[in-house]
Amino acid sequence: MNSTSSPSLDLSRFPRRTLLDGPTPIQHLARLSARLGGADIYVKREDLTGLGGGGNKLRKLEFLIGEALARGADTVITVGARQSNHARLTAAAAARVGLRCELVLTRTVPRFDHDYLENGNVLLDALFDARVHDLPGTANALQFAEERANELRAQGRNVYVCPLGGSSPVGCLGYADCAAEIVAQSHTQNLAFDRIVVPNGSGGMQAGLVAGFVAMGLDPSCIAAFTVLGRAAHTYPLTLEKANQTVQLIDPSLRVSDDAISIDEAQLGPGYGIPTENMRATVRLMASTEGLLLDPVYSGKAFAGLVENVSTGKYPVGQKILFVMTGGLPGLFAYRNEF
Ligand SMILES: Cc1ncc(COP(=O)(O)O)c(C=O)c1O
């Protein structure tokens, strides 16, 4: 990640409702870096966003809620897995701006204990007064959401439907904006990162970061993801397409090259939301070495990949690696019996 002066990105023409309280900090993990004996590890604290328990989805929601309000919406509907952080933060953002919220949650993850079904994000969804539609794992959540939206529209409501993970091109603008924030912070803190490591779920965060780099005229090849939802062969074209749609929203003349998207599936394990031994060990390592909390579904698996790459020398001494720490803390309570 090299540039002599800090480039900027003007997203002011897009409707936006501020939900963050300013830039999130970048912090050095001195004890963990020393313990692993490889690259220096830094974290971008996207978990330290103030609304609704915090997390990466608030960046996307600034633009999604902005668009919903610009269209005069009175209701927002979104979809996700039962323990979706995106759904929880959509409910919190809706409460903050005075929109009604409905969540279409599917039982995609094969966990049926009380903590998974009722604690964690699900508890918070109820506190934010969202109406939850509880669907089986096989259901088509987006189709259900569209049908529900039409039903509400027939009753005179103005409904905004938000896609899985908030990862429409408009939502991804939030992470293009974060790319500019990271570049500005790396200038002021004099940190040249060799790599920026992220989890990839619905792909919007990686797509947005890559689009932001391309829109600023920077090389996005330092951005690397660990997929936690789909196999790499499935996730790669979807993420590339989202990155292209996002960059073209910013500037229709721009394009993301095929090699700008790097996705590793080594930490996915048996599938989305299914714990792995590496994830459990990494959540414990981070908590006991740095006092920081990863989540079991996204950041725990992705950070496990980072730790492995530092330990095996793929990220060697002398390099600086930035991990985007995305939040998801309520998930720990939903997966209590894994720890
Ligand atoms: C805590 C957390 N980290 C990472 C992600 C992945 O972000 P994306 O869906 O944009 O790939 C999510 C998405 O739900 C999340 O909740």
DSSP string, 89-118: HHHHHHHHHT-EEEEEEEE-SS--SHHHHH
Q: Using the mean position of ligand 1's atoms as its centre, give its distance from the Cα of residue 4 in Å.
A: 31
The CA 57 to ligand 1 mean position distance, Å, reads 7
Q: How far is the CA of 30 from the centre of ligand 1 (A)?
A: 25
* Length of the chain counted residue by residue: 339
The residue-averaged pLDDT of 224-229 equals 98
Pocket test for ligand 1, best of 62, 86, 292 (most atoms within 8 A of CB): 86
Cα–Cα dist 280/118, whole Å: 21
Give the contacts of 86 (CB within 8 A, at least 6 positions apart): 57, 60, 78, 80, 164, 165, 166, 202
pLDDT band at residue 92 using 50, 70 and 90 as cut-offs: very high
Q: What is the pLDDT of residues 134-173, one digit of tens each?
A: 999 999 999 999 999 999 999 999 999 999 999 999 999 9
The residue-averaged pLDDT of 239-260 equals: 98
* Mean pLDDT value of segment 279-284: 98
Which residues does ligand 1 sit against, CB inside 6 Å? 55-57, 85-86, 165, 167, 199-205, 295, 298-299, 326-328
Q: What is the mean pLDDT of residues 243-254?
A: 98
Give the ligand 1 atom nearest the CA of 198. 4
Q: Annotated active-site positions, please? A: 84
35 has pLDDT over 80 = yes
Residue 205 CA, closest ligand 1 atom number: 10
Amino acid at the residue 333 = F
- Pocket probe for ligand 1: among 46, 64, 85, 261, the residue whose CB has the most ligand atoms within 8 Å is 85
What domains are there in the chain, each with its CATH number? Answer: 26-55+168-338 (3.40.50.1100), 57-166 (3.40.50.1100)
pLDDT at 4 over 70: no
- Rounded Cα gap, residues 191 and 237, in angstroms: 31
In angstroms, rounded to a whole number, what is the distance separating the alpha carbons of residues 30 and 215?
32
Q: Residue 5's pLDDT is what?
A: 62
Residue 1 predicted with pLDDT over 70: no
Q: Counting atoms of ligand 1 from 1, which one is nearest the CA of 331?
A: 1
Closest ligand 1 atom to 208 CA: 10
Could you tell which of 56, 89, 283 is best to mutate to test the pocket of ligand 1, judged by most ligand atoms within 8 Å of the CB? 56
Over range 110-126, report the average pLDDT: 97
Distance 165 CA to ligand 1 centre (A): 7
CB 298 within 8 A of CB 228: yes
On whether the CB atoms of residues 78 and 103 are closer than 8 A, the answer is: yes
pLDDT band per the 50, 70, 90 thresholds, residue 13: very high
56 CA from centroid of ligand 1 (Å): 7
Q: State the Cα–Cα distance between residues 61 and 161, nearest whole angstrom.
A: 12
What are the tokens at 197? 């490591």
Quick: pLDDT tens for 51-76: 999 999 999 999 999 999 999 999 99
- 281 has pLDDT over 60: yes
Determine the Cα–Cα distance for residues 7 and 89; give it in Å rounded to an integer: 30
Instruction: Give one DSSP letter per residue of 186-210, joined into a string.
Output: HHHTT---SEEEEEESSSHHHHHHH
Question: In angstroms, what CA-CA distances link 59 with 50, 121, 153, 224?
Answer: 12, 18, 27, 19
Among protein residues, the one whose CA lies closest to atom 1 of ligand 1: 328
Q: Which single residue is written with the structure tokens 């309000």? A: 69
Give the mean model confidence (pLDDT) for residues 86-104.
98
Confirm if 284 and 339 have CB atoms less than 8 A apart.
yes
Q: What is the mean pLDDT of the chain?
A: 97
208 vs 214: CA distance, rounded Å: 10
Q: How far apart are CA 179 and CA 166, in angstroms?
A: 17
Give the burial class of 82: count Cβ atoms within 10 A of its Cβ; 0-12 exposed, 13-18 middle, 19 or more buried.
Answer: buried
**pLDDT band per the 50, 70, 90 thresholds, residue 106:** very high
Q: 8 falls in which pLDDT band (50, 70, 90)?
A: confident
Residue 7: pLDDT band (50, 70, 90) is: confident
Give the percent of the chain with pLDDT over 70.
98
